[in-house]
Amino acid sequence: MAQRVRKAVLPVAGLGTRFLPATKVIPKEMIPVVDKPVVQYAVEEARAAGIEEFIFVSAEGKDAIAAHFSAQAVLEASLEAKNKMAELKLVRDASLPSGHMKVVIQGEPLGLGHAVWCAKDLVGREPFAVILPDDMVLSQTACMKQLIDAHAKVGGHVVAVEDVPRDQTSRYGILDVASDDGRLAAARGLVEKPQPEKAPSTLAIIGRYVLDHSVFDELDKHTRGAGNEIQLTDALNKTISRTPFHGLRFEGKRYDCGTRVGFIEANVAFALANPELAPRLKPLLARLMNS
């Protein structure tokens, strides 16, 4: 039986240049979708999957993320004094228990593989999750829980995948599929951002991973790949001969909040999934579309 997954790595060191000037001071992960920062959705998803420890791979000047998940005594006391108990619960629910959050600084933006490597000492020799907050997933069962449940059965590396149009394969890590039962695909290899004519499939990795610690053996080498960056996909590819690798077609819909259109789409989708907001939002959207 696979070892239980207790820790999650969240790479949040990016500058968010696509969202300037909004991200000039505010980290892009702190921009809200409906009523919560993007990164809070990622943490809530992980907690729903049983994750207990959170490792934020951040950059200098992005202290707001750690502050958001820390207790805010002055704010909490003020809300309690004003008997704003609903608001107080929201603030407390957003906090992580003391000692359950660690922050490590990624000194240089050398790619996702490097960001994950920065968490090596805090992860240790156990399986761990990686969540990219920019990828938001709206689902009945938390996407990360689906991955962890699959990992408990097959072990090794398990990543979330979805079929993408062939002309978009150059934006993703793509699986070279050995076998596929329609939900879980075993891979014989991975290709980072292949051109459409060279892509071995259209099954793309999105921002959810459950990884065996063996990936650090490859990341330790700091080998540069596409974009002259240390690619997580390349490191995973080199472990496949000794570590099982599966892609899980998850239940749910992914929204890419790393783009402006995807961010707007996520706001609309998550608002429509909110039973309090949906009845008022639907006629408003209809009026906007017809104006």
The pLDDT tens digits of the residues spanning 102-128 come to 999 998 889 999 999 999 999 999 999
pLDDT of residue 291: 80
DSSP character at residue 159: E
Contacts of 124 (CB under 8 A, 6+ apart): 213
Helix 260-272 to helix 278-290 angle (10° resolution) is: 130
pLDDT of residue 225: 80
- What stretches of 98-197 adopt beta strand conformation (E)? 101-105, 128-131, 135-138, 157-163, 173-180, 184-192
- pLDDT tens digits, one per residue of 182-198: 899 999 999 888 999 99
Q: How many CA atoms lie within 13 A of 87 on its CB side?
A: 11
Letter for the amino acid at 120? K
Q: Over the chain, what is the mean pLDDT?
A: 94
Residue with tokens 């920065």: 118
- % of the chain residues with pLDDT over 90: 89
pLDDT of residue 1: 61
- % of the chain residues with pLDDT over 70: 100
Output the domain CATH number for residue 97. 3.90.550.10
Q: Does 231 reside within a domain? A: yes
Q: Convert 185-206 into a string of H (helix), E (strand) and C (coil).
A: EEEEEEEECCCHHHCCCCEEEE
Q: Measured between alpha carbons, how far is 120 from 273 in angstroms, rounded to an integer?
A: 37
Q: Does 2 reside within a domain? A: no
pLDDT of residue 26: 93
Q: Does 12 reside within a domain? A: yes
Domain residue limits at 130 = 7-290
CB 184, CB 154: distance < 8 Å? yes
What domain count does the chain have?
1
pLDDT band at 224 (very low <50, low <70, confident <90, very high): confident
- pLDDT tens digits, one per residue of 120-155: 999 999 999 999 999 999 999 999 999 999 999 999
Whether residue 98 is predicted with pLDDT greater than 90 in this model: the reply is: no
Q: Does 65 reside within a domain? A: yes
Nearest to 201 by CA among 177, 183, 182: 177
Q: Does 1 reside within a domain? A: no
Q: Does 58 reside within a domain? A: yes
DSSP character at residue 259: S
pLDDT band at 249 (very low <50, low <70, confident <90, very high): very high
